[in-house]
Structure 1
């Protein structure tokens, strides 16, 4: 029951943790900044790497602890290939960015790509 409760909580809050990775330090609660700085939650700088070309790394949106290992071992590239060959769906990292999947940040002129 403990595992199910913890897993459910992490799933429910993972999108909030991801949203905090897009926030500016001055607008985040101090406890969130402390957790990001400690590596418990994915930091803004870690997650920003996911929004830069070639758009095929740093997929972990909760803590980022596994990003280096998974990227070095090309785990997500392998999963992209499996999905492509099984379902015919091409990942966005295989093509140039376009306006269909870019968004403007609210407080910044920087364009983030998801």
Structure 2
């Protein structure tokens, strides 16, 4: 139960952090603005890269701390290949 509770909480909050990445500073709580300005949460401009073609980078939509490392090492490209070979679903990129 502890694992399920913790995992559910993390999923729920990650979706909220992602939603805040779409918001403007004037519509966000001051704490969220401070976390974005401090680089803890993804800024609006950083998040925009997640929504631009070719859609093969910037998958980390909460803080973005790992984006550079994962993109340079093509981690998500490898995962896309696994999904393609297992499910025959082509990636958007």
TM-score (norm 2): 0.88
Q: How far does the alpha carbon of each residue in 1:38-92 deviate from its partner, in whole angstroms, 9 at most, with x for none?
A: 1211111111011112111111111111011101101001100110011101111
Q: Which runs of 5+ in 1 are unaligned?
A: 94-114
Q: Which runs of 4 or more aligned residues in structure 1 lie more than 6 Å from their structure 2 counterparts after TM superposition?
A: 1-4
Distance 1:3 1:43, change over 3 A: farther
Partner of 1:30: 30
Higher RCO, 1 vs 2 (CA within 8 Å, ≥6 residues apart)? 2
Equivalent residues, number: 93
Matching of residues 22-101 of structure 1 within 5 Å? 22-93=22-93
Greater share of helix: 2
Q: Which runs of 5+ in 2 are unaligned?
A: none
Kindly report the root-mean-square deviation, in angstroms, between the aligned alpha carbons of the 2 structures.
Answer: 1.8
Greater share of strand: 1
- CA–CA separation in structure 1 for the residues paired with 2:34 and 2:44: 12
Matching of residues 103-114 of structure 1 within 5 Å? none
TM-score (norm 1): 0.73
